[in-house]
Structure formats: structure tokens, C-alpha cells
A and B are shown apart, each in its own frame.
Chain A
């Protein structure tokens, strides 16, 4: 494969989570889910074995987009919605780097929706972490493109009117090659998903349910609280029948008329359950799984929905440069200028 994702020629380096903490004071609201994600990412980074200088975090605007300031790597806090575009330019010119995009639901799916879908379809070598808190935090509590219908906020006193995006469905809809979902507070799960995302060649899209305790507290409690989480977390595991519930008594089945439905295993038998295949080339089944819940308001799949191989945009671009150079030889300026019809005077 390639040397992308920051793995250059050098030997792997040994670092600790502390090495990835910058000297800047973290300024999210106390109790914000962003802290847990930051800590998980800092703790996870050493496992990559990539030196800090070859890692870049690029973000847009929003609470989550302050993230790069707290990482002791290279970083850019850019413009609202534009991080995937900026990161694309960086990634395709610097295949030696590991480039991460940090974004939120408003940043990625409202003002930056266009850039997100195009990065995903091109399969640029980016790892995109979308912190979804289903609210606008930095601007103090307006509904977001992932807020549930009818949400009462400062800008929607009578309830929001727009049908929300399901970020995983959006990513699968544009045929992203790696799509996953995790939860801020589940460090072990998040770390595992991050590892798979980092190893993926091409764009990896990870939605992370993140609690905004100020403006949308408890949005994901159903998936987090000890008494409800077993019944509401559907953990997708490659090659295994999809089961959930305290004792795995519930499951997911594909019906004859092509729907996925939640079933009691006792009713249908284990053999009737859908076996999760994250490498399935065709994205429709993964899309159907993403539709099981619209926003953590019932049994909701987490884990890797899709992980497939497709040529990476950065590499294709480099290959064209190499092919042109091999065919024509390295460009010579004088030759270029003297190309076409020239004539001599004097």
C-alpha cells in the first residue's frame, strides 16, 4: 500500500498521550463532551507511531473546532465549513502527512455540507471526526441540521420545521469508503473506531455523539445511561450477527421485502439475524442499518458501518504527475516557453 496516513519512511516513534497536549488552556464549558473526545484522541495518537510533526489537525468553526489548539501537532483553525476543502489541498500536496479534520454538525452539514460530500466522494486521504451534539453551541443554542424535528430553541420558539440529517446516512449516501459512529463517553469504543479510521486509506468519516451539557444536555442519554444503554446500543461488529440487549436477546434481521427490522432472537432464531459485513462493496445495506434510528432516540447502531477500498484521490493525483513526468521527462521552462510557433528576428 502507500505511505500515506503519516507513515513515512522513518521508524515508528514512542510517544505518550501527554506528548499530544499543547500548552493552551482548554476552554470548553465544564462537563462538555469535547473533553472526553480530546482525551481519547490524545491517548490514542501514540498508538499510531507517527511523529507529532507529521500529524495535522484542521478544523472549521464551532465549539469542537477549537480542538486543534489543544493538540501538540501542526494545526489550523480555519473558516466555518471549509475545513475539508482546506485539508484536501494540504493532503494532496503532502502525502507524507496524517491529516485529521475536526468538525461539528453545523460546520460539516450546514455551512460546509458541500465540501464534506465532495471530500467523501473523492476519497481524499482525510480522517474526518464530526462531533454531533445536535445543536449550535458556540452561537448559543440554535437548532442544527441534526436537531430533531420540532426542537424548541432560541431561533425556533414554536419548534424547528426542518427534517434533520442523519450524518451516517449522508456519508453512506455519497458512498464514503469508511463510515463509523461512536460516543464521546465510551473511550474504549471510540479508541477502537479511531484506530480503524486511521488505518483506512482514503476518507474516514466518524460521527461522534457528543453531549453539549449547556444547550442540549442528555441528547444521547438513552445510549449512555447504565439502565438504558444495553437496550439501545446496537454494536456493529464485523462478521458477527447483529445483536443487542443485556443478554443479546434482541437482534437485527433483513426481511424478505428488503427492510431491516429489530427482532427478538427468541422469535426468529440466531440464524435469521443479519451478519454484519463492513467490507460489503455495495453501500445500501449499511445505509439501511443507519436508518434504524434517526438520532439516538431508540436502538441505534454504533461502530463501523462501512470500510471498503477505493483508489485514494491523493494517490491518483500523484500518479498522474509521475506518469506525465515519466512520459515527457521533467518539465523544462525554456522548452515550455519556446513551444508553439516561434520566429526569429534580427
Chain B
């Protein structure tokens, strides 16, 4: 008997279970199958901050959302069409996000009195009508996994652990995913324990076969491959792309990469990744604290390395004084801030965009620093190269502002041709530059950058420091006019970078009076929202900033061309404040700080609301 197949253009699936249920792995595997099949996709993992919250409790729920389609998509999806809930806590934590009519696949075996109690359910939601608005597929996942593995010489606990692979098999059948790569993956992952490898493969296949034979699933679904630009792709998360971008920056500049970092969520993965790439000459230093991390990076920069430090908001606060020293020393330094929810410790695993003003202004004195913000996970690669380019060319600390959503989210990445990447090489000073002397602060007339003379260069011995320096010689100076000149020179140097970055591109729609302006990780949700609005026939234009200091040279002109400007941000209006003060534009904000990315729907509503207002409705 062949079951009917329904063709869909896009689906959003969320896997949710206890931290110990292997939901991230399940999501990763489903993503790989989907990527191999050729859909466009976007993912969003959502895991608890606690390493091992009590099993079965709501704080212990770990989730992974995946949106895939037969066309290009921009976000991991507003709300799941399908929720796979491995236990009552996962159901309870996610049910609120489920629209009416959405499907629910529930592991009925875990709905025991004890687990219901741990999730705070007084009655079993599978039986009391709680789920009446949804299409519920009750599946005894655990017992069927145990049954499939009963011939195996493994403990019950080990057999039970394979239930996520049973679920993956079932979902793979339901959405016609290719399975070979998952089988190969499991065999490799458990190569040291072949019986476990075999058990997982068996559970995976049992899940698939169950889908095919059971009457519980009458229909399966097909999502045709998307028409994407031809080329070689891989799926990539923001932090991985960023780490690769740093390696690339080192190769493209010809400078050895030095990372000084202290572990912090959600930036630690960059330290982990870079520590694997010593064959690229990468040196990673797990410092005693955040201050030492950036200090060591600055010391390495003094010696001629590409110095990098990675952190998140709380760590960036601690690094502020050293970044200020970097501004004064005018040495290249990359400061990477993977923003998370604040203030203080906030919500470490949740995303936010509230460090913009911190990185721009969170230092003593006039201490301008260029800021670059990637807009998608794969863009973290290119943004890292761009940040390094600016740092090296202008001898300045540069902040790269990513966030938790980009860091952990993933998307297919059309791999760049290495030969097409920019040359960001720079040169060290080798000769005296002023009447037989070396003046460390004699600037390049165009870039205003000072020469970078590294220790080991004969004849260029010099001393630099955090005290104000005389223009040119770099000697200590308390001269009032000199200080004023140096303040202005440092500001002009950073402001001048505007001439060396691309203009902001506008996706302009004829006849539109409203511009939606975004920065950073809101790129996807804003783009999806604009598509929705345009689909209703309304007119709206959109632009996205990748450089936040300095702004692209044409930004003022762009803003002036619209009657209304809307700036959605996951903060209380930080870019909006900058834009209003700099361009005297009456921009309005859409600001929500929930630790989660925006939904396309809420942004579309905000845009339509503003359009109505503009039309005087």
C-alpha cells in the first residue's frame, strides 16, 4: 500500500525533549539530511543554561527548531508546524508557541504520573482535551525503541537512549529525507562501540519503518529542493563561520593569529574551534580572566600578530580599559562580542542586541572604535575578515558584534572561492620616517593610520603607552593643544573609514515611503516580514547596516528619502538613538527584548501598523 504524499513549500519542525534526550543531535542530523536533499533551511537551537537541570523538569527542556523550504528562506520560522515532544515538560514548555492546527508527535511512554507531576500537569494533557486544537500523533517511542533493540546485548538504559534516533527515523520518513548520511554518521560516531552504533542505526530504521507501516500517519510530505545558486554548500553556524573567518583573516593578512579568551557563553565555541587549528599557526590562550584575554591579544598585536579576543557582554565590560589602551596605542585588535541577554549575567543562552552602545561608548574618554555586525550565520565569516581588514589598515581595535542567535543558528553556506577573498595584507615599518629618526605617530596622510613597527626591527626602537602622546613623535605630552589635536585625529581616522566601506544598499520598492532599517541578526526576520507585507500589496523598502561605526557614507541621504523610518531592534532603541541624533530623522522603533529573535509576523504587523499611521488611517 502506498500512502498519499502531500507537497508543501515549507515546514517548521521543533524537536523538544529533556537535556539528556539528545535533541540537539537529532536536530543536527535532520538538518544535515535536509541540507543534503537540497532545501534551503535555517535552524535555531534553544538550550538551557544549566548543564544538567533536573531530568523531566521544565528548565531542563532543550529544543531545536528547523525551517526548510523549496525556496530561499530567511529565518528559522516563527512557529512550529510540527512539534516533537519527548516528555510532558517539553510539551508544556513549547505548547504556547504552537499555532492551532499544528501537528504534535508525542512520546506517550514518558507521560507517567511522575513526569506529569515534574512538568506541573495536574492531569494528563493527552487525555483532558488540552490538545484539542492540534493534530496529535501519540507514539510510544520508548517502548517501541526497546522492542526494536531487544535482541541487542546492551543495557535497558542504553537501549532507551536510542529513542531519539527512532524519532529521527520517523520524521525522516514523514518528510522523505535521505538516510544514508545519518547511518554513516552513527557508525562513525560510535565506531569504538559497534554494538551501540548498530543499536542506533536499528532504532533509526525502526522509526522509518514504523512511519511507513502504521496507520497513525496517513500522509507523508514532500518539500521539493530549493533553487539556490549553484555551487558547493555546507551547513554552518555563526560561531563556526566566525572562527573560520578569523583563520581566513590570518591567512589573507599573512599574520599569525593569536586568540586570548576566557570561557563565556555563547562565545566559548570560537575558542574551542580555534584551538583545533594550530596547523594554521593559530595560538590560543585561555587566560586567567577577561582582562588578561584582551591584554594578551594586545601584547601579541604589539609584536606583529593578528590579536583577537572573544567574549560576550559581561566580558566586554571588563575589557573596556584595554580596548581604550588599544585606541591610544593605535594597534590592530579584534574584539568579538557575541551578545547575550543582559544586564549583568542576564540570560546567558538567550540572544539580544543591547551591547551596541556599550561597544561604541563604554570606555573612558573619547575612544572611537569601528564596529562591524554580521547579519546571518554565514556572514560571520565575511564580517570577521572585514573587521580584520579595518583593524589592520587603520591600526585600531575593531569590535565585531555578533549575538547568540547568529552564533548557534545555522544555514546553508555557499562556500566562497578562496581566491576571491580580499587581500588584507599590511606592512610593518622598517625604516626611520623622520629625518633619520623613527616617529611612531607620524600618520599616513590618507588613512591617518600610524606606522606599525614591531620589536625586532633595528633602529625603530620606541616606547608607546596609555599616556597622551605628542602628535608625530609619540613622546608623552600634556600640551593642551596637542591633546585636542590627538583627540580629533583619532576621531577623524575612524570617521574616515566611511570612505572605505560599501554604501548601504536599499531594497527599494517604488512608491514606498517607509524604510525599515535593521542591523545584525534581525536581517532574517526583517526580510521575511518585508516579504509578507509586500505580498499583501503594501509598499515598503528595507536596508540593513553591517557597519555601525562609522555608518556608510550614504546613510543620511538614504534616510532623508523616506517619510517614515522603522528600526526594529532587540534592545530599547540603541541604533534608533544613534540615527536620530546623527541624522535628525524621526525614526521609530520596534523593540522587544525577550531573549528570542523576532518573528516575521510581529514585524510585519508593526510595518503595516506604521504604514496605516502614515496613510492617516
Contact = CB atoms under 8 A, between A and B. Distances in A.
Partners in one complex: yes
Interface of A: 22, 24, 51-58, 61, 68-69, 71-79, 82, 85-94, 96-97, 114-115, 118, 317, 320-321, 323-325, 327-331, 333-334, 336-338, 340-346
A89 B285 contact: yes
B300 interface: yes
A58 B461 contact: no
B279 A325 contact: yes
Contact of B233 (A61, A69, A90, A343): A343
B228 to A, nearest CB: 5
Interface of B: 32, 35-36, 38, 181, 228-235, 244, 247-248, 251, 256, 258, 260, 277-283, 285, 287-289, 291-292, 295-305, 307, 321-322, 325, 329, 415-416, 418, 455-467, 475-476
Contacts of B458: 51-53
A89 B455 contact: no
A325 B287 CA distance: 24
7 contacts: A75-B462, A89-B297, A90-B300, A94-B455, A343-B232, A343-B234, A346-B228
A98 to B, nearest CB: 10
Contact of B455 (A56, A85, A88, A345): A56
B461 A331 contact: no
B296 A53 contact: no
Rank and list the top 6 A-B pairs by shortest CB-CB distance, nearest first: A346-B230, A77-B465, A89-B296, A89-B299, A331-B280, A85-B295
A311 to B, nearest CB: 16
**Most chain B beta carbons < 10 A, residue from A71, A329, A331, A343:** A343
Given A76-B464, A118-B292, A333-B251, A24 B233 contact: no
B294 to A, nearest CB: 8
Given A53-B457, A341-B181, A118 B233 contact: no
A73 B461 contact: yes
A74 B304 CA distance: 13
Contacts of B329: 76
A345 B459 CA distance: 56
Nearest to A330: B279
Contacts, number: 205
Nearest to A67: B463
B415 A87 contact: no
Nearest to B181: A341
Given A82-B292, A336-B244, A338-B415, A93 B305 contact: yes
Contacts of B461: 52-53, 72-74
Given A85-B287, A93-B300, A97-B455, A76 B230 contact: no
Contacts of A58: 299
A87 B301 CA distance: 11
A337 B229 CA distance: 18
Nearest to B421: A333
A92 B285 contact: yes
A93 B322 contact: no
Contacts of B283: 92-93, 317, 321
B258 A93 contact: yes
B543 to A, nearest CB: 29
A53 B303 CA distance: 12
B38 A345 contact: yes
A85 B278 contact: no
A88 B235 CA distance: 37
A346 B299 contact: no
**Most chain B beta carbons < 10 A, residue from A51, A71, A74, A96:** A74
Nearest to A77: B465
A338 B296 contact: no
Contacts of B278: 320-321, 323-325
Nearest to A342: B234
Nearest to A8: B456
A264 to B, nearest CB: 46
B303 A90 contact: yes
Contacts of A341: 32, 35-36, 181, 234-235
A58 B228 CA distance: 53
B299 A88 contact: yes
Nearest to A52: B461
B298 A86 contact: yes
Contacts of B307: 89
B473 to A, nearest CB: 10
B240 to A, nearest CB: 9
Nearest to B252: A333
A118 B301 CA distance: 21
B295 A114 contact: no
**Most chain B beta carbons < 10 A, residue from A86, A87, A344:** A86
A193 B384 CA distance: 46
Nearest to B277: A331
Given A55-B455, A79-B466, 9 more contacts: A24-B463, A82-B291, A85-B299, A86-B295, A88-B285, A89-B295, A89-B303, A93-B304, A331-B251
Nearest to B473: A23
Contacts of B303: 89-90, 93-94, 97
A333 B456 contact: no
Contacts of A343: 35-36, 38, 232-234
Contacts of B32: 341
Given A74-B462, A79-B295, A93-B256, A345 B288 contact: no
Contact of A337 (B256, B281, B415): B415
Contacts of B304: 93-94
Contacts of B465: 68-69, 75-78
A69 B322 contact: no
A82 B320 CA distance: 13
A338 B258 contact: no
Contacts of B464: 75-77
A327 B256 CA distance: 19
A346 B231 contact: yes
Given A89-B296, A333-B251, A341-B36, A22 B456 contact: no
A86 B258 CA distance: 12
A235 B234 CA distance: 67
A91 B258 CA distance: 12
B300 A337 contact: no
Given A90-B300, A346-B229, A69 B251 contact: no
**Most chain B beta carbons < 10 A, residue from A52, A53, A73:** A53
Contacts of B181: 341
Nearest to A68: B463
B232 A342 contact: yes
Contacts of B415: 337-338, 342
Nearest to B413: A337
B288 to A, nearest CB: 4
Contacts of A61: 466
A8 to B, nearest CB: 8
A71 B295 CA distance: 22
Contacts of A71: 463
A53 B458 CA distance: 5
Contacts of A76: 299, 302, 329, 463-465
A79 B321 contact: yes
Contacts of A57: 463
B279 A337 contact: no
Nearest to A86: B299
A89 B258 contact: yes
B29 to A, nearest CB: 10
B145 to A, nearest CB: 26
Nearest to B259: A89
B418 A337 contact: yes
B231 A336 contact: no
**Most chain B beta carbons < 10 A, residue from A57, A324, A342:** A342
A87 B303 CA distance: 10
Contacts of B285: 88-89, 92, 317
Contacts of B247: 331, 333, 336
B244 A337 contact: yes
Contacts of B296: 85-86, 88-89, 92
A310 to B, nearest CB: 18
A22 B287 CA distance: 33
Contacts of A96: 456
